[in-house]
Structure 1
Amino acid sequence: MNSVPGHSIRGCWNAALSILGDAGVDTVFGLPGDDLDALSAADRAGARFVVARDQRNAVFMAVGYALQSGRPGVALVGKGPAVTNTVTGLLEAACSAAPVVLLSGGTSIEHRGSGAFQELDQLSVIAPLVKWAARVDHPARLVPTLRRALLVAGAGVPGPVYVELPDHLLTEEIPVRAESAPGAEVPAAVTLPGDSAAVRALRSAERPLLLVGGGMRHGNVDGIIERFAEAHGAAITCTASGRGAVDESSTLFCGLSGLYTPEEAARLWAETDCVLALGSRLEETATFGWPEGVGTEVPVIQVNVDAAEFATGFAGPKVLADARAVLGSWPAPQPREAWAETVRGVHAELRAAQAENLRSLHEAPELHIAEVLEALQDVLPADRVLVQENGLQDMWSYRFPLYTCDGPGGSIVPSEQTSLGFGAAAAVGVKRAAPDRPVVAFVGDGAFGLFDADLPTAVAHGGGIIYVVLRNGGYGWLQSQLNARTEKPSGFAFLDSAAVGARAADLPGVRQVALMDKNTLAADIAQAWKAAESGEVVVLNVPVRIADAMFTEETAGGDFPVVPPIG
């Protein structure tokens, strides 16, 4: 049902879903309130309502949809505890810079303050976690409020917004007026003068390095970053959230930054004399272990659309603009052939070291997580999307080139908040955003356990997802921290050895396979992909040993652990 200029639409949910439909929203994730009006409204508006069994999962799904598509992910819930259940998802959306619109019900204005059923000051709960929050009390304010919500969610640094539609609007006539220009114009180019501090810093550098952040996820559809790096002879690295923004097969790409820096690439950080950070907040994991001089003697040029995104602890010019627009109009490059050759040599070393590590693992009798990732990469089509968690053992997928994003949008990762269960639920939203691409969720059993109530939701909405569940019997990261303590409190364990061989509940439409034999690994994954292509949800259960971890158990004073060699 589309809105008609100058007319009205009866009922707040009918009006809301109609306005969202006009804006191109084709999917809504959530669990509606008792009135269920939103279900019929979505049907009339031509939108698919993905009914989740857990409101937190619903928001995670909306975040996955938004990160993959670049369009607003919409979640819809009831009131009171339904709203508080969305808080973790909103935290993840805010830290992931995902354009999410959360709609909720609310207490009618005439009952507010009376201790009504499920009454809660929802604005006070939600406002600290979102870019903008509003409650609509008058019918005439509904349409302009929703249009503003869509603008705010996607403008500048994207993020979540919240709109409350109280119960007294359920049967009101909602006036609708035409809007001539629903979107905001964004300049395609930002010209930097030749004498700007940023231009001078890069021009004088002999060994530049590009750091690509999550803000560039949808800003590199035509390879502008790779072309810029080639022209300027610069190395390319990315943050974890920046994966999927660049083609990692580029010979100038040398892995992730900070905590996830490959050993062979550390020399580039030690030798660089200028870092150009594009769309990154320079979070702790992205800068962990940087050489002491980076950000002091070595300038870090930061390009971001919002001043609040700048990391002021690093010295260097700051450019307040869209990074893509800046790259497109940067002054003439200065080729640096010697440095580019060094960078390509590091890329080749990474590939060679990875191949040698995998060869040694193939000779061992046990199946390793690295071998599972290798098989996924070899068997699945190149346009696959890997949706990740951030636990002890699923972090193997962060290690380049063990997993390589061969094309745009090939990786969805949690934010710095690393909300447990995010990746498992987000995969449903990613699949809705990219229905023709293989979607694989690479998760630990602890994270999967928080999601598996919504396995039927994945089945009900087309399936086509492969879940690789690394089963160590619980929470491996916490167990590794416990093991590292000199004095261990008695009676505590975060792993249950009896649960290592467990599997999710058997459900119609869900195919479960135990991956235990490396000799049949490729064939098992090929069969899983064939089943997913036909619309099934496939759960690949992989028993793993806690020792098969990307990080050691050595921690001290809260510091991050050390990255060991594979195996």
Structure 2
Amino acid sequence: MRESTTPAAARLLVDCLIEQGCDRVFTVPGESFLQVLDGLGQQSTIDVVTCRQEGGVAFMACADGAMTGRPGVAFVTRGPGATNASIGVHVAMQDSQPMLLFVGDVDSEMRDREGFQEVDFAAFFGPIAKWAARIDSADRIPEYVARAYSTAISGRPGPVVLALPEDMLSRETEAKPRPRVEAPAQAPCPDAMQAMMALIGDAASPVAIIGGAGWNAKAREYFQIFAERLAIPVATAFRRQDAIAPSSKVYAGNLGYGPNPKLVERVRNADLILAVGARLGEATTDGYTVPQITAPDRKLIHVHPDPNELGRVYPADLAICAGMAEFAESAALWDDGDAIDFDAGAAAHAEWEAWATAHPNGHPLDMGQAVQFMRDTLPADTIVCNGAGNFAGWWHRYWRYAGYPSQLAPTCGAMGYGVPAAVAAALRHPERTVVAVAGDGDFMMNAQELATAVQHGANLMVIVVDNGAYGTIRMHQEREFPGEERISATRLANPDFAAMAEAFGGWSARADTTEAFKDALVAAQGRSGLRLIHCRIDIEQLAASGASVSGLRSR
């Protein structure tokens, strides 16, 4: 058999990714992009992570983008592969995270005949991606890849989908990769900053809501300096709790589902809202009611990197289009000679401290006490990953997201995100402790990715909270249709999750009591590789988490 070489087009695509700084891709292999797989196998710059289902692939890429600020990269095959991966594209879009999904596509000559696994990917992904296109010319691969990176990281970050016709990947080309692209610098206008400080100076009870598109470590550091200088209470948007250090004397807690009622009242009664990075979406604002979309006695300053988000839902009295880091640095260094000190941040922080301290609830396995023990036992910069469900309320309320990044959780309420995100985090940050927390229904959405974790040597801990039900939907069900006889479709017959982890090659323990959980956590911390703790709790403990999940598609 003659020795074959990787086709030029496929080599070029891999070289373009390397030029853009890609060092890892996630994939389920498919025959539609064999040429790219061959090209990836002939180089050592990009780590190839082989996954077990395309939903896990896309979640890992989304999480990787959230951690690096560069697009997480995924490769899947056409038809079933692409449709499975669509959930990760949806999450990346609603979470404003940079991601690049490559889809192997049908041969150009087969197009528009509804060939084997054919889908019009531009039409399919168009509504849930920033850009979806097809590369028909091998010579234009550098153009498309560079544009994909630029689109994914500019303005409001998000996902890009590129279809790769099978025959195009086999063509000859002499094109060369384009240079690495960076997000455009977006410094705030000095006049806008002056206007912002004037509005803040005129306020009596302002509140900041932060975290979201383009937030990074620099934005976190500088905004904290700014907020602490003014002593303005700072709330984080839904599942953006690592946007400020929880130890900050002005951190007031998180908005979303199950917030501190005292924080809700602060936001409701604020005469000025300073929203930085947050879209002010449905979850953060409790259905666009906290704060109200319009209020005659309240001002809104909205800072966002994408002009299309400014004024989209909430009319702003002052709209500032700027990058998060650039804005935060300008705010921290701003000095107009007038000292502003509201002295409300400390009181709001004390209210959060009281709210975020767990008290015994009388259940054999008290999850509030369990999370508090985790806080006392694991490193402060532990990365906590979760999908959707009522179980997450314990961590949202009682965990301290001290590091950055340290919270990987889908703001769009997608189930099955936690385990894949934890795999991506463990590979990206092998020096840090990574924990996936999942409900039983949530865990089973992507439990197969435990195999990926073991195969690639990821060190991660998984905590499965098992109540034998789709608990959030059960809670809604009991509220809307009370009575045991009205319970429908929410009961679950679960496997032995501890035995399941051992079957994948991991270590496991079971916990039915708080003390058993503590013992298991200590034992798990002293080990490496995959570790899973199967927590079995009473369905009635749901409400004790303090979670209120009205409107969230989760379990």
Please say whether Structure 1 and Structure 2 have the same fold, judged by a TM-score greater than 0.5. Answer: yes
Deviates more, 1:28-37 or 1:406-415: 28-37
Aligned to 2:537: 544
Over 3 Å counting, the alpha-carbon distance change for 1:304 and 1:544 in structure 2 is same
CA contact (8 A) 2:9 2:171 kept: yes
- Is contact 1:29-1:58 (8 Å) kept? yes
Q: Structure 1 pair 18/227, CA: closer, same or farther in 2 (3 Å)?
A: same
- SS for the counterpart of 2:520 is helix
In structure 2, list runs of 5 or more residues that go unmatched. Answer: none
Distance (Å, rounded) in 2 between the aligned partners of 1:445 and 1:392? 11
Counterpart code for 2:321: L
Cα distance, 1:162–1:504 mapped onto 2, change above 3 Å: farther
Q: Which residue of 2 aligns with 1:143?
A: 142
Aligned match of 1:100? 99
- 1:202 maps to which residue? 200
What SS does the corresponding residue of 1:220 show, helix, strand or coil?
helix
- Root mean square deviation, CA, Å: 2.8
Aligned to 2:467: 472
Query: Residues 198, 555 of structure 1: CA spacing in aligned structure 2 closer, same or farther, 3 A cutoff?
Result: closer
Matches within 5 A, 1:21-32: 21-32=18-29
Q: For residue 170 of structure 1, give the secondary structure of its aligned residue in structure 2.
A: helix
Query: Corresponding residue for 2:322?
Result: 321
Change (3 A) 1:175 1:392: same
Offset of residue 407 of structure 1: 2.2
Shift of 1:145: 1.0
Q: Does 1:15 align with 2:12?
A: yes
Distance change (3 Å), C-alpha of 1:560 and 1:385: closer
Change in 2 beyond 3 A, CA 1:307/1:139: same
Instruction: Give the whole-Å Cα distance in 1 for the aligned partners of 2:182 and 2:57.
Output: 28
- Alignment partner of 1:350 out of 331, 349, 352: 352
Residue 457 of structure 2 aligns with which residue? Answer: 462
Cα distance in 1 for residues equivalent to 2:224 and 2:318: 22
For 1:45, the equivalent position in structure 2 comes to 43
The residue correspondences of 1:270-289 to structure 2 (distance < 5 A) are 270-288=268-286
Judge conservation of contact 1:393–1:548 (CA < 8 Å) in 2: no
Q: Provide the rounded CA distance (Å) in 2 between the counterparts of 1:467 and 1:385.
A: 12
Please report how far the alpha carbon of residue 185 of structure 1 lies from its aligned counterpart in structure 2 after TM superposition.
Answer: 5.8
Alpha-carbon separation, structure 1, partners of 2:220 and 2:476? 43
Which residue of structure 1 lines up, in the alignment, with residue 62 of structure 2? 63
User: Bigger CA drift: 437-446 or 170-179?
Assistant: 170-179
Q: CA deviation at 1:75?
A: 0.4
Paired position in structure 1 for 2:229: 231
Deviation at 1:313, TM superposition (A): 3.2
Unpaired runs of at least 5, structure 1? 1-7, 562-567
Relative distance call for 1:151 and 1:383 in structure 2 (3 A) is same
Distance 1:555 1:469, change over 3 A: closer
Q: Are 1:36 and 2:29 matched, yes or no?
A: no
Paired letter, 1:63? C
1:481–1:349 Cα change, 3 Å = closer
- Please list, as runs of the form range in 1=range in 2, the aligned pairs for 1:261-300 lying within 5 A after superposition: 261-288=259-286, 290=290, 295-300=295-300
The code of the aligned residue for 2:345 comes to: V
In 2, Cα distance between equivalents of 1:166 and 1:195:
48
Q: Matches of residues 360-379 of structure 1 in structure 2 within 5 Å?
A: 360-361=360-361, 364=362, 366-379=364-377
Task: Name the residue aligned to 1:304.
Answer: 304
SS at match of 2:389: coil
**CA separation in 1, counterparts of 2:442 and 2:551?**
23
Deviation for aligned residue 1:295: 4.5
Within 5 A, what are the aligned runs for 1:319-468?
Answer: 319-330=320-331, 331-332=334-335, 334-337=338-341, 339-340=342-343, 342-352=344-354, 354-355=356-357, 357-358=358-359, 360-361=360-361, 364=362, 366-399=364-397, 402-415=398-411, 417-468=412-463
Report the Cα offset of residue 215 of structure 1: 2.1
Instruction: Name the CA distance, whole Å, in 1 between partners of 2:225 and 2:384.
Output: 25
Q: What SS class does the counterpart of residue 466 from structure 1 fall into?
A: strand
Q: Provide the secondary structure at the position in 1 that maps to 2:199.
A: helix
* C-alpha distance after superposition, 1:401-451 (max 9, x if no partner): x11111221111112x21111222222122222222111111101011011
Give the deviation of 1:253 after TM superposition: 0.3
The question of whether the paired residues in 1 share the 8 Å contact of 2:25 and 2:75 is answered with yes
Deviation digits for residues 497-536 of structure 1 (CA, Å, limit 9, x no counterpart): x6386546232431121122323433321221222xx3x1
Q: Secondary structure at the match of 2:22?
A: coil
Post-superposition Cα deviations, 1:90-113, rounded to whole Å, max 9, x if no partner, equal 111110111111111111112223
Cα pair distance change 1:52/1:295, threshold 3 Å: farther
Contact 1:208 1:233 in 2 (8 A): no
Amino acid corresponding to residue 113 of structure 1 in structure 2: D
Residue identity opposite 2:535 in structure 1: V
Cα distance in 2, alignment partners of residues 194 and 499 from structure 1: 56
Query: For residues 345 and 200 of structure 1, do their structure 2 counterparts lie closer, same or farther at Cα, with a shift above 3 Å needed?
Result: closer
Q: Deviations over 1:38-67 (max 9, x none)?
A: 333223232111111111110011011111
Question: 2:369 is matched by which residue type in structure 1?
Answer: E
Amino acid at match of 1:20: L
Compared CA separation, residues 191 and 56, structure 1 to 2 (3 A): same
Q: Which runs of 4+ in 1 moved over 6 A?
A: 551-556, 558-561
SS state at 2:491 partner: coil
**How far did residue 491 of structure 1 move?**
7.2
Using the size of structure 2 for normalisation, the TM-score is: 0.89
> Following superposition of structure 1 onto structure 2, how do residues 176-255 of structure 1 map, counting pairs within 5 Å?
176-177=175-176, 179=178, 181-184=179-182, 186-187=184-185, 189-193=187-191, 197-215=195-213, 217-218=215-216, 220=218, 223-255=221-253
Structure 1 stretch displaced more, 446-455 or 365-374 = 365-374
Range that drifts further, 56-65 or 140-149: 140-149
Secondary structure, counterpart of 1:284 in structure 2? coil
2:107·2:166 contact (CA, 8 Å) conserved in 1? yes
Q: Which shows bigger deviation, 543-552 or 200-209?
A: 543-552
* Cα contact 1:295–1:314 (8 A) shared by 2: no
Residues 476-499 of structure 1 show CA distances to partners (whole Å, capped at 9, x for unaligned) of 111112222346675724124x63
Q: Which amino acid aligns with 2:285?
A: T
Q: Which amino acid aligns with 1:322?
A: G
Query: Quick one: structure 1 residues 233 and 490, their matched pair in 2 at CA, closer, same or farther if it must change by over 3 Å?
Result: closer
In structure 2, C-alpha distance between the alignment counterparts of 1:144 and 1:554, rounded to whole Å: 47
Instruction: Sort the Cα spacing of 1:520 and 1:322 in 2 relative to 1 into closer, same or farther, 3 A.
Output: same
How much does 1:9 deviate?
A: 7.5
CA distance in 1, matches of 2:25, 2:84: 17
Letter in 1 for 2:74: A
Distance between the aligned counterparts of 2:390 and 2:80, measured in 1?
A: 31
* Secondary structure in structure 1 of the residue aligned to 2:526: helix
Give the SS at the match of 1:223: helix
Question: Which residue identity lines up with residue 523 of structure 1 in the other structure?
Answer: D
The count of aligned residue pairs is 539
Distance 1:553 1:290, change over 3 A: closer
Question: SS of the counterpart of 1:470?
Answer: strand
Matched residues in 1 for 2:542 and 2:19: separation? 48
Q: Is the 8 A contact 2:419 2:443 kept in 1?
A: yes
Matched-pair contact (CA < 8 Å) for 1:471–1:502: no
- Output one character per residue of 1:142-172: Cα deviation in whole Å (capped at 9) or x when no partner: 1211111111111111111011111112321
- Distance in 2, matches of 1:130 and 1:255, equals 31
SS at match of 1:165: strand
